[in-house]
């Protein structure tokens, strides 16, 4: 992916939409967290904002769309939906705070 495109979609000027977008991608993807860090670093190098990268890592590790059926089976619908839904919200909050600090 060319850097211009990355920074257009998830760079500083893409604002909250970019953060929500990349957070949703992180929530849907099912890859080991350890692989997400080099990916996140290369996104940063290519113009992604700190908030977007923080949102991506946080939703990727905390939210499991692929494993949601299993979570529902073990812990019930309420806990599973609340945990995943609220995790998304706190991931966005964490991302915004990090963007403001760094």
Partner 1 sequence: MKKEREMIRDWVLFGLILIILVVLLSIFPEKKEAVIRTSWKFFIEMVWIFPAVMIILGLFAVWIPKEIVVKYLGSTSGIKGILFAIVLGTLPTGPLYIAFPIAAALLKKGAKISNIIIFLSAWACIKIPQEMVELQFLGPKFMAIRLILTIIFVVIMGVFIEKLIEWSDKK
Residue 50 CB: number of other CB atoms within 10 A? 15
Distance, CA of 8 to CA of 13 (rounded, Å): 7
| Residue indicated by tokens 């957070």 | 23
Q: Which of 14, 27, 53, 56 lies at the binding interface for partner 1 (CB under 8 A)?
A: 53
Q: Which of 8, 16, 33, 77 lies at the binding interface for partner 1 (CB under 8 A)?
A: 33
| Residue 12 sits in the site that holds partner 1 (CB under 8 A) | no
Q: Which of 50, 51, 52, 77 lies at the binding interface for partner 1 (CB under 8 A)?
A: 50
| Residue 94 sits in the site that holds partner 1 (CB under 8 A) | yes
Residue 78 CB: number of other CB atoms within 10 A? 9
| Residue 102 sits in the site that holds partner 1 (CB under 8 A) | yes
């Amino acid at each position: 992916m060319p850097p211009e495109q990355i920074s257009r979609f998830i760079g500083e000027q893409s604002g909250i939409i970019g953060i929500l977008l990349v957070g949703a991608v992180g929530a849907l993807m099912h890859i080991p967290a350890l692989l997400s860090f080099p990916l996140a670093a290369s996104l940063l190098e290519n113009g992604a904002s700190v908030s977007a990268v923080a949102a991506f890592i946080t939703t990727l590790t905390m939210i499991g769309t692929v494993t949601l059926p299993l979570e529902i089976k073990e812990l019930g619908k309420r806990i599973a939906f609340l945990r995943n839904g609220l995790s998304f919200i706190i991931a966005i909050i964490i991302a915004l705070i990090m963007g403001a600090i760094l």
